Every structure is written in C-alpha cells, then in structure tokens.
Structure 1
Amino acid sequence: MKKIKVTAVFDIGKTNKKFFLFDQHYREVHKEYIRFKEVEDEDGHPTEDLLALQQWLKDVFHRILDNSKYDVKAINFSSYGASLVHVDENGNPLIPFYNYTKSLPKETVAFFLNQYGPKETFLKATGCGGLSMLNSGLQLYWIKKTKPELYSKIKYSLHLPQYLSYVFTGIPVSEFTSIGCHTVLWDYEKKDYHKWVYKEGIDLKLPPIVSTETSMNINYNGKQLKIGVGIHDSSSALLPYLRSVKKKFLLVSTGTWSISFNPFTEKPISDAPDDINSINYMLINGKVVKASRLFLGNEYKLQTEKLNKFFGVASNYHKSVAFNHVVYNKVSVDFKHHFKWESLEDEQMPNQTNFDFDDYDHAYHQLMAELVLLQVKSVNKAIGDDKIDRLYIDGGFSDNDLYVKLLTYHFPKKKLRTTDASLGSALGAAIAISDIKLNSKFLKENYALKKHVPLIIK
C-alpha cells in the first residue's frame, strides 16, 4: 500500500492541543487532540504544563513517523502568542512557563513607563492597547528587574511557536508574526526592535529573526524532514485568505474575541490615545496588520445566559433563533439600547438592563442588534480610510443568522462572505512552509465559502 504524503501540524491552543495531518491538497486526513491539567507557578497562578506538552509533542510525532499509512514530508507549528519559553545554555526550559493571564505588578509598569514613556506614545509605537503580562516583552523586563538569578540563567527567550519548533530542531529563532503579537518589543515606525529592548540588553536574549516561511531540512531519527519555525495562530489563520484572495479584504475572526484584521492598511497606528482595542499584528514578511478587537463572544455568552434564566428556556435555545422581519421591526422602530454590558464599554448602554420584551425572540433580536452595532464600529475602526469592499467572517458567529444578516444590512455596499475556518490556524501553518500556490477556488473548496446578499428591512 502506497503511503500518503502529508504535512504534520501541531496547533496549540490555550485549552485544546491539536495535531493534524494534511495531504498535498490540504485536506485533513488525520486529527487528534488532548487537554492537559494546568500546573501552578511559584505564586500559585495556573499555567501551561510545558513538560507534559513537550512530551506529548514527541510521543505523537514519533508514533506518526512509525505509521505505515503516512509519509511525513514536513512539520510546522501554530500556537497562541503572548508567551515566552526561556531556555538555559543547555537548551532546557526554565520552569515555570508564565501564563499571560498573570498579573504584572503595577510598580513594574510604573517604573517601565518612567523610563520609556509617555504611555500613549509608547503604545502607538509598539502597536499595543495596554501594558500587562499579555505583552510578553514586559515579562522579560519583569524577570530582569525582580528575578535577576533566573534572568542570568536565560540563554534564549523563545516565543511559544518557535519553542515548539525548537523541540524538534534545537535551533533557536524568532519570526515576525510572534514578535508582532502585541509584545511591546517591536517599533512599527522604525521596523526594528524598540529602543528599550536594546537599552535593557533584552535583544541579547532573543534569537535571530528569520522569515516565517523559513524551514530547515533536518535528519530527524533517520528521516529527512522539512521543519518550519512556527507561526502565531492569528496570523496563521489569516494566511490562507492572503494566499487565495487577490483583492483587498477585511477578515473578521469571531469567537470569544472578535478580531477584525486589515492586512492592507496604509495607516497602522491608531490616533486615539485611550483606544485599548486597536492593536497591530505582523504578516509573515513583517508587514503590519491593523486589527481591532471586541470581546464579542464573551459578552454574548454572558447575556444569553441572563436571557435563558429570565425567560426560562433551554441553554442552547438561542442557537435556534433565526432572523424574523416582524420581530426585528419591533426592535428597529424607535430603537433604544436595552443591555448593560458586563465585559464591554459603550457610551450608549443604560445603567441596567431593561427586560421590557414580549418574549425571548424579541429580546434576542434586540441583543444582536446592539452587539452588531459594536461590531460595525470595530470593523470600521480596522478599515479606517482604506478602500476595502470585501468582508470575510469566520469563526463561531459565521453561522449566526442574525449576526450575518445584520452585518449585511449595515454594510450594503460590501461583498460579505462567511467561511467555515475550523482548520484555519493549522492549515495556515501548513501553507506557510509550502511552495504550492493557492487558486481563487481554495476558500470555496476548503472553507465552505458562502456569499450573502444585503438584508433589506421591510
């Protein structure tokens, strides 16, 4: 039996750790996943069990290499960002691996800004929305200032996607998509590490920068393999669109966070000093991506739970509600804001939620109308002055009937498409190290591309 030639991809999320095999046509031929219990750092804060993850990577890959069905030609990695793995001179990870949800001491931030502020100027230059452990560069600064003994042991600090590659190659590198993931390391105007990185000597801990498309030909356990350097998951999910869509577009990737990506921007830095939700990412070639984020999925979850309880319906009832013109007319006539958000800021929201609705469907239409207004603002913020007439929607809200229809209503002159991109970041990692060019039919064949006509309100 002839073996199937495949590209292997480890796609590491905060919760699910996934492994895929793709054939030469980017079709999924194998998938498996696992979850690990978190461990605690020295302060009792939960964090990734890095040693368990590392062992799983090797166990899975060795098993696949021995499988008589598959001929693995290449391997790459996608993962969440905002995380660094520090290794010593022997290449061993220095535990613990700090979680980006860990609080960064206020005095550390204050001391940093006293040296390198003012805050607004610094955030604009680095394309970030705030200062916290979510900015992985500050983690290194914090370690240097508060844990000098640990800092002295660090030979290299690797972004998580590059550490996954390092597990198999032993070659330390950095690449643009991870550097550009709100790390505060990069100065987007100078297109180089920010001056604070050099002044603090942080650059000496960071491996050489290579292109995200870089791969290394490695003899691994007697088999010749092409091993990629890894890619940040958000940038990876964007890659299949960039490779197959020839005209300018905006990608709205929805889930817990809804992030609007504009990879064609002429003006990447937000002018609003207090705009914490305008951030930058980087493409595989170092070009800037302007992004605007909205805590959409989180707020949706909180509000539907309230509606479920108030109306006494099943927890998944909201999934069955389809757009209804008659019900929406009740919402749109003399429109008023009813919902007080728990995780979003909006000048229009009332002091408390008004449950003055006929029934659940009425309340749900009102909820979606208000959430979509926030989404429209976020999309417009990401587009800015750029001329973009194509919108792609992927993720959890791409099959939400009200969400999609209301977006078409608010953007009647834009061509709106939805896609099923459940393989997005993993597939992007496979594409990143491939020489195969994608054609215009790729999204239709692999992403269940759907076209949507603008909604006309009767």
Structure 2
Amino acid sequence: MKVTAVFDIGRTNKKYILFDEKYQIIDEFSESLPETTDEDGFPTEDIELLTKWVQDRWAALLDDPKYDIKAVNVAAYGASLVHLDASNKPLTPLYSYLKPFPEDLLKQFYSTYGDPTRLSLQTGSPAMGMLNSGMQLYWLKYTYPDIYKQIASTLHLPQYILYLLTGRKVSDYTSLGCHTALWSFEMWDYHDWVKQEGIHKKLAPVLASSSFIYRHNDKGIQSGFGLHDSSSALIPYRMAVKKPFVLLSTGTWCINFNSFASKPMTSYQLERDCMNYLTPEGSGVTASRLFMGREHDYQVARIAEYFRVEPDFYKGVAFNEEILKADTPPFYTACMTGNGPFPEPNTQEWQISAFASAESAYHHLIKGLTELLYVSLDLIGINDVQAIYIDGGFARNEIFTKLMARHYSNHSVYATDLPYATSLGAALHVTRPQTFEFSKEIYEIKA
C-alpha cells in the first residue's frame, strides 16, 4: 500500500502517522518518552532517546512489507535547537524553551542591539527569553563559548528529525518564523543582529523548493523539509478554504492565525501578545495568543472544589440561555499575567461564591474567556475576514461555540474535528495535491 509517513513530535507524545493516497489515516504509533535534565538540572527533552526512537521507528517502517512509503515529512514543536558537531552528533542537551534566560546577558544583548520594542517589531517576536530560539544561540555563544565554536550546524527540532530520516540538513521558514527573533519581517532575511553575531553561519541553508527526493536503496521517497507544528496545522485550512479566514487553534494556548493580514505589526499589538509566523513558502502570518486552556482548567478546578462536584463536571454542562442572562460579578483571570491582550498583573480574584451552582459558574467562566478572546481576535483583524474556524478542544464545547457564533453573527463560524491537523498539514505539504477538501470533519455553528 502506498503511504505518506509523518513524524509528529510533540512535547508529550512522539508519534508517526501513515496516510493513504486519499489522506485517510491507516496506521499510527504513539509513545511518550521520559525527560532528562540539562547540566543545570533543568528538565528537558532527552535528545539521545528521541534520536534513537526516530531512527528505530523509521528503520522499521522502511522494512515493513505492508507499506510502500512514497513520501515523508516531519512536524514538531518549535523554539528548540539541536547543535551538531563536525561528526553530526548533538553537542549539547536540547535546552528547554522554558529555561530562564540570564538577566545580565539580556542587558548585554539590548545594550548592543538597541531598543527591545523595535527589535521585537522587526522580528515579529515578543521578547520571551529562551522561547526566542535565536536567543538560545546567543546564550550559548557567551555562556559556553568553547562549545559554541564546535558547532558545525544548528537545526531547529523539525529539521533535526528530518536529518535523522534523510541525512539532509536544511532550514525552513516555519521554524525560522515562529517567534525566534532570527527573522526580519522588514527585510525578509535574517535580522542584522544575527549577521553581526555570525549566528546565520551556524544555521543550515533555507531552500526555495518545498521537497526533495530522498534515496533509500533503489527507491526514491519524496521528502519535505520539516515544519513547525502550529504552522503545519494551518496548511489543510489554507488548501481547503477559499475565502479569507482566521483559525483558532485551541488547547492550553489558544493561538489565533490570520494569514490574510498584510499590515505591519504595531507596538500596541506586540504588547498584547501578538506575533508573526511564516508559512512554508515564506509569507507572513499574524497571530495572537491567549492562555485560555490553562485559565479554563484552573478555574474549573476551583469550581469543582467549591461546589464539590467531579473535576470533569463541565463535560456534561449543556448550553442554557437563561443562565447567561443573570447579573454576575466580573470575571478576573488568574493565569494571564504577562500574556494575552491584558498582560497587566491582576490583583482580584473571580468570585465563584456568587454563583448558585457549578453549572452557572461554568457558563460565566466561558463567557468571560470568550470576551477576552474577542479582544485578542480584534488585534489580528478578525473583521477583515469572512470565516472563523475553531480547532482543538474548545471546538467541542457547545457553550463556547454558541457564544462565538452569536458574537460574530456576520461571519461564518465553523467547528472542526481534525485531531491530526498538524500531521495532515505535513502530509499535504510534501505531496502537494492539486485540490484538497475536508470530508465530514467540519460543521457550521448556528447561533
């Protein structure tokens, strides 16, 4: 059977997925791998274990007589770099993007390269320490100069996985463009600070095409260049949807993508957790973030404790119009300091005791979250598009989707059920079908 193989590497689960020629999943394998720690004791991905896992799984797939692998691609989480020595072995741990960035080094960087806001606007990247993967290279250069000198090439994680599969070292736009501080959205090239530090010389070349032929024994396999996971999840929508839209990718973070926005980012947007991404072709995407899933889970736990109900009580709560009409205390967030459209520290607590039931409190939690989301969507030009697609966990939340459809009555609002949008995007990008349409995974929400 002819298949396209996609290695989808998440922080928690590592998996491969096999698609047939109609992009239906015919096989998958998922496994979670234990973490390790870096030299400072900070938890991180075990790069040796991950390397072996990918190599073993790929070898088994290539040898499996059931499958004729015609194409392969990778999607993986971003803001993570693998530094290879002259013999193509990792030189360092895969440092976590959650690792704190030293304050003194940050001061050194900005005293050399100027105003943080200006740099962030140019690179479409809010200043986020190690989450700006370019800053990881800067940190390595000045913290471990001897190791930095030994780096023969640096790859973002999706491209490192691709290297393990094909032996080819490349950079791709989606990884370079995801809040890395490496890319200038003014010059459409590496930012000047990257060139002054010589960091661009460590990075593998960016290639203009979207795929190449990888030869395994006497057979050619079409290979992509690897993709940043969030950008990969956007691809099926960009291929199937003909009119301008915004995609809400919901989970722990709600990341909102508008790939039709053309205006340069402003400092006002930047201060409210907006950023730029790049498509695989190198065009810009404007995005905003909201820590919606984390806030949801935190407040659900409070509601469950106060009303002495099961932690997953909310899964059985049906939409109730009358509950939403009641006067209630204002909603205050607990998990959004430093992120989202209102990053200022919040000193007040949402008063759950004002509600008569867990059901009532939950309705008003979702109402409060959607009102924050409306602001986040305004920041990326929601009124300049015609459609909204909701992907991820909140697409299955009736209260959430109803409120969205009511608020955006001039838009078409759709909920999607694409649990493998990231993998599907990687498969579509490497195989490049002339057309692609969703089957039954999408339905319109009626207010």
1:342 paired with 2:340, answer no
**Counterpart in 2 of 1:219?**
215
Code of the aligned partner of 2:181: V
**Counterpart in 2 of 1:18?**
15
Give the one of 260, 267, 289 matched to 1:293.
Answer: 289
Tell me whether 263-272 or 76-85 shows the greater mean CA deviation.
263-272
**1:174–1:300: structure 2 CA closer, same or farther, 3 Å change rule?**
same
Give the one of 88, 92, 117 matched to 1:91.
Answer: 88
Q: 1:254·1:395 contact (CA, 8 Å) conserved in 2?
A: yes
1:443 paired with 2:438, answer yes
**Counterpart in 2 of 1:311?**
307
Q: How does 1:406-445 map to 2 (within 5 A)?
A: 406-439=403-436, 442-445=437-440
**Counterpart in 1 of 2:124?**
127
Aligned equivalents of 1:164, 1:50: Cα separation in 2: 10
**1:140–1:44: structure 2 CA closer, same or farther, 3 Å change rule?**
same
**Counterpart in 2 of 1:103?**
100
1:58 paired with 2:55, answer yes
**Counterpart in 1 of 2:41?**
44
Aligned equivalents of 2:280, 2:397: Cα separation in 1: 31
Aligned equivalents of 1:403, 1:73: Cα separation in 2: 41
**Counterpart in 2 of 1:231?**
227
Give the one of 255, 258, 266 matched to 1:259.
Answer: 255
Query: Structure 1, residues 266-300: CA drift from partner, whole Å, max 9, x if none?
Result: 11413317615101100111111000000000000
Q: 2:329·2:350 contact (CA, 8 Å) conserved in 1?
A: no
SS of 1:433 mapped into structure 2: helix
SS of 1:10 mapped into structure 2: strand
SS of 2:380 mapped into structure 1: helix
**Counterpart in 2 of 1:398?**
395
1:356 paired with 2:365, answer no
**Counterpart in 2 of 1:367?**
365
Aligned equivalents of 2:335, 2:195: Cα separation in 1: 40
SS of 1:293 mapped into structure 2: strand
Q: 2:121·2:270 contact (CA, 8 Å) conserved in 1?
A: no
Q: 2:388·2:412 contact (CA, 8 Å) conserved in 1?
A: yes
Aligned equivalents of 1:287, 1:231: Cα separation in 2: 14
**1:154–1:140: structure 2 CA closer, same or farther, 3 Å change rule?**
same
Query: Structure 1, residues 67-101: CA drift from partner, whole Å, max 9, x if none?
Result: 22211111110000101100011111113111111
Give the one of 199, 203, 211 matched to 1:202.
Answer: 199
Q: 1:86·1:155 contact (CA, 8 Å) conserved in 2?
A: yes
SS of 2:399 mapped into structure 1: helix
Code of the aligned partner of 1:337: P
* Count of residue pairs brought into register by the alignment: 442
Code of the aligned partner of 2:46: D
Aligned equivalents of 2:196, 2:45: Cα separation in 1: 31
> Alpha-carbon deviation of 1:435?
2.8
> Alpha-carbon deviation of 1:146?
1.4
Aligned equivalents of 1:224, 1:348: Cα separation in 2: 55
Q: Which runs of 5+ in 1 are unaligned?
A: none
Aligned equivalents of 2:335, 2:130: Cα separation in 1: 23
Q: Which runs of 5+ in 2 are unaligned?
A: none
Aligned equivalents of 2:281, 2:220: Cα separation in 1: 27
Aligned equivalents of 1:169, 1:69: Cα separation in 2: 21
Q: 1:91·1:170 contact (CA, 8 Å) conserved in 2?
A: no
Query: Structure 1, residues 361-391: CA drift from partner, whole Å, max 9, x if none?
Result: 111111111011011111111126x621100
SS of 2:287 mapped into structure 1: strand
Aligned equivalents of 2:104, 2:305: Cα separation in 1: 42
Aligned equivalents of 1:401, 1:61: Cα separation in 2: 40
Q: 1:339·1:367 contact (CA, 8 Å) conserved in 2?
A: no
**Counterpart in 2 of 1:277?**
273
Aligned equivalents of 2:65, 2:380: Cα separation in 1: 48
Normalised to the residue count of structure 2, the TM-score between the two structures is 0.95
Code of the aligned partner of 2:110: L
Tell me whether 272-281 or 251-260 shows the greater mean CA deviation.
272-281
- Cα RMSD (Å): 1.7
Aligned equivalents of 1:338, 1:165: Cα separation in 2: 45
SS of 1:272 mapped into structure 2: helix
> Alpha-carbon deviation of 1:357?
0.7
**1:176–1:218: structure 2 CA closer, same or farther, 3 Å change rule?**
same
SS of 1:210 mapped into structure 2: coil
**1:224–1:292: structure 2 CA closer, same or farther, 3 Å change rule?**
same
Aligned equivalents of 2:237, 2:401: Cα separation in 1: 19
Aligned equivalents of 1:42, 1:276: Cα separation in 2: 34
